[in-house]
A and B are shown apart, each in its own frame.
Chain A
């Protein structure tokens, strides 16, 4: 299966967020959603449902692993765990993200005028 190369910003970002969240330790989908809300102050307002296709895709790619377990209040829940390959992927994507953010902010914060600017 060739890797999904669509650079859908939201999806790629969501993947990165999930990987980062799981790097703290295994949790279920609801845990991932809760953590992201808590850290970001719910700025991103992610539709919680959209986490699940992302989780399953990452599972399929072998970046995360899943296992059934019991939740804090004794419910059966599917727990996700970052794999070694997932950890590598997280490192790569984090640095890519850094480059991306740098590049975008360079453009946004540039004070230099382009030659065709007539302002």
Chain B
């Protein structure tokens, strides 16, 4: 507060305070105090009394407090602006200086930027995939509240099928309002459609309770959603189609609503088109996104499926405030009470259990781990790249030792130096990140295109805001690390020695060399870890390729078709047209065998192995045997190239009225009959009391990898299609055909199409492919992961070798004089080469030992990605260690050769 009239003078010590900068509040007080004192003096001098002079001075001045406040406001705002401008200017100057420094060392800058761009680019691309699959919200309303209910029958050896039995929907719906806000069921299928475009097509469809889209919270983009009456059996059939199908078959015609489309041969009216963003179902919860949504028409006859057919997904939206744990409890209580509610349908011995899990968790369960492993791998690559850049910066800090010392001597604080280094790293990282993001955009597109269908195709992979935010965070962390490393180098640096030291190398230089050596050893260890992981993947891939799938993929083509229920109503008519198709195929010149099956091997061919509970006559087993059941036509084993180990194949004489027969695979024969022959024993679909017929085993076929090349064969039994309807195992309506030729099957593909069209022009054909392509496609996922991991390992190796090269080359320059002396006193050039090489390989050796230890610890995390290879596979470990040592030796050889060529005379005089 101002004391206006004290004649008080500014104390002398205040001047020293001003040394640290202006104190605007005090200054203002001083200024005003001077004014008041001067005015007062003048009044007193003119003869006024002290009291009058005081009153008059104050009157004349006006409101002192207000003036002070106004001035203070102006000053403090000004100070703020000034300090802001100072900072901006200083940053600007730092950045300009940094760019100049970086431009002066163009080659070093390019190397650093390239390392960063590769590291950040690869990271951003992989993260964009991880983000799309694991983190970005699914395109449904409030997707985190969506859950699936899956039942399991512990007696069958499974606690969770991931699905329920369709009639149980009415039971689970009783949880609506209490546990679920709403719930729906769906079953994915693949059905023939026609309408719109003039070709028949088989597309992914979803049969669903009418409210499914409402539960997902995604209304159609055009037309209307389903209402309860769409599920009535009395009303006409209605469907909603996908945006993709609308474009593909209807040319995006806006008048699609109300048009007819035939689904599985049955006419239906299109009432809506879904938005393009809707992707449902997803791989893992029903397969590829569907093109046609069909409401169930519930009939009482469906009750027969209760408790014996599990293929219905139940999706619920958790009611607000209900936790997952509460839902789990409610579902499991409900499952336990099912046998009490429907005593005639459930056996009390076969306890039913149920579990509830978030929709996304289930959808990504198979791809989550591989993706996270890839992300970890690419993170290591970035770390290696960062170490390279740090190492380069350290080398440069060494070269700038004098400059830094001078700046310290001139009064640059440690903080100021950090700021300067920060600016240099920021420029470097900004350029590196910018180029990295460009690489990532391109790489992400490449990944999305080439990823196997079961991983990514339902997700839209792109570099979005979240990906950019993560990249930005990575870039900031990187910047800070880079700037701290050389700055701390500068701190250790005591002033005098480096000002005095010439290029001969000071103690600080040695410390820096040690730091760089540590970095390079770390790099080698990380690169070894990655290449070991890649080695394990490559060995697994090779093993998987070597697997004999149990059939002969060469010289065979396969395709599927579907026989619409509307056109082919009875089992007889189905068998009849399938026989005609087989006849037409067998008549094509060049065809050796043709047959058909309910399940083409390998999931990639579109087969979905159907499993049955079976019984063995006269055997009681501790758990119920489950086996894949396959219905085939005669000649199937010849056409597929499956060898018969025992007995006979099916023949045209296995007619409906004849002896019901079956052929089992080796796994089944061994598991249930041991060394005894399976021939002549009888098996049955279902429990021993079930009405289906006992089937006499007439042959044993060699094992086929029915699900995937890298999944072990399961017990399996074949029944003849001609007897299927009477055997009680159903009959073929979506058969897969296999056609075997003597040579390359490609030339007969057109003839195959023609043959099918001649029999029925409305039959759609799906997936006409060489069987060899089917085998490849079934390994697409493994191939994808292997290629990526191997690519990252290669990148890591390259970066690490650059690191070694940089270090050794630099130390050769530092030791020029020493090497010169050695040469002068008689060392041979090859001894110099050995000396320098030893330096490189010694470092590599240390890195390899550390890397092997690390790999030993972590490779077991990738166990589930490996096939027939131990996570501690010696070949992968030894191979990558050897590879690292060779690379290190090569990277040191170039500088070593240069060292050997040093001219001793020049080298000694150089300083």
Chain A interface (Cβ < 8 Å from any Cβ of B): 1, 28-30, 33, 47-50, 52-53, 56-57, 59-60, 68, 71, 73, 75-78
Contacts and interface: CB of A to CB of B under 8 A. Distances in A.
A70 to B, nearest CB: 11
A64 B77 CA distance: 17
B34 A52 contact: no
Given A50-B67, A52-B31, A56-B74, A75 B37 contact: yes
Contacts of B31: 28-29, 52, 77-78
Given A28-B34, A75-B34, A78-B34, A57 B61 contact: no
B168 interface: no
Given A48-B35, A48-B39, A71-B38, A78 B64 contact: no
B61 A47 contact: yes
A3 B525 CA distance: 62
B67 to A, nearest CB: 4
A58 to B, nearest CB: 10
B41 A73 contact: yes
B91 interface: no
Contacts of B35: 28-30, 33, 48, 52
B34 A50 contact: no
B907 to A, nearest CB: 61
A52 B38 contact: no
Contacts of A30: 34-35, 38-39
Given A29-B31, A56-B70, A76-B10, 16 more contacts: A28-B34, A28-B35, A29-B34, A49-B67, A50-B67, A52-B32, A53-B67, A53-B70, A56-B71, A56-B78, A57-B74, A60-B74, A73-B41, A75-B37, A75-B38, A78-B34
A57 B72 CA distance: 11
Which 5 interchain pairs have the tightest Cβ spacing? Answer: A47-B62, A49-B62, A49-B67, A53-B70, A56-B74
Contacts, number: 69
Interface string B185-225: 00000000000000000000000000000000000000000
Interface in B42-73: 60-64, 66-67, 70-71
Contact of B75 (A28, A56, A71, A77): A56
Contacts of A48: 35, 39, 60-62
B406 to A, nearest CB: 34
Contacts of B61: 47-49
Interface in B846-860: none
A62 B75 CA distance: 13
Interface string B24-37: 00010011101101
19 contacts: A28-B35, A29-B31, A30-B38, A30-B39, A33-B35, A49-B61, A49-B62, A49-B64, A49-B67, A52-B67, A53-B67, A56-B74, A56-B75, A60-B77, A73-B38, A75-B9, A75-B37, A76-B30, A77-B34
B77 to A, nearest CB: 8
A34 to B, nearest CB: 8
A75 B35 CA distance: 10
A7 B67 CA distance: 20
Given A29-B31, A47-B61, A53 B39 contact: no
B333 interface: no
B40 to A, nearest CB: 11
Contact of B74 (A53, A75, A76, A77): A53
Contacts of A50: 62, 67
Contact of B34 (A53, A59, A71): A71
Contacts of A29: 31, 34-35
Contacts of B75: 56, 60
B81 interface: yes
A13 B61 CA distance: 18
Contacts of B66: 49
A27 to B, nearest CB: 11
Contacts of A76: 9-10, 30, 34
User: Which of A47, A48, A68, A71 is packed against the most chain B CB atoms within 10 Å?
Assistant: A48
A27 B508 CA distance: 57
A17 to B, nearest CB: 16
Contacts of B77: 60
A77 B38 CA distance: 10
Contacts of A75: 9, 34, 37-38
Given A30-B35, A52-B71, A60-B74, A1 B81 contact: yes
A78 B74 contact: no
Contacts of B71: 52-53, 56
Contacts of B74: 53, 56-57, 60
A78 B27 contact: yes
A30 B42 CA distance: 11
Contacts of B81: 1
A29 B71 CA distance: 13
B63 A49 contact: yes
A30 B75 CA distance: 19
Contacts of B62: 47-50
B46 to A, nearest CB: 13
A56 to B, nearest CB: 4
Contacts of B27: 68, 78
B42 to A, nearest CB: 8
A56 B28 CA distance: 10
Nearest to B65: A49
A60 B34 contact: no
A84 to B, nearest CB: 19
B370 to A, nearest CB: 58
A49 B63 CA distance: 7
B453 to A, nearest CB: 60
A68 B35 CA distance: 14
A12 B66 CA distance: 19
A71 B60 CA distance: 21
A53 B37 CA distance: 19
A102 B388 CA distance: 75
A96 B74 CA distance: 26
A10 B79 CA distance: 27
A71 B38 CA distance: 10
A77 B39 CA distance: 13
A73 B39 CA distance: 13
A56 B69 CA distance: 12
A23 to B, nearest CB: 21
Contacts of B37: 75
A53 B63 CA distance: 12
A73 B44 CA distance: 15
Contacts of A68: 27
A89 B172 CA distance: 84
Contacts of B9: 75-76
Contacts of B78: 56, 59-60
Q: Which of B30, B66, B74 has the most CB of A within 10 A?
A: B74
A73 B66 CA distance: 28
**Residue from B9, B10, B60, B81 with most neighbouring chain A CB atoms (10 Å):** B60
A1 B61 CA distance: 29
Contacts of B63: 49
Nearest to B69: A53
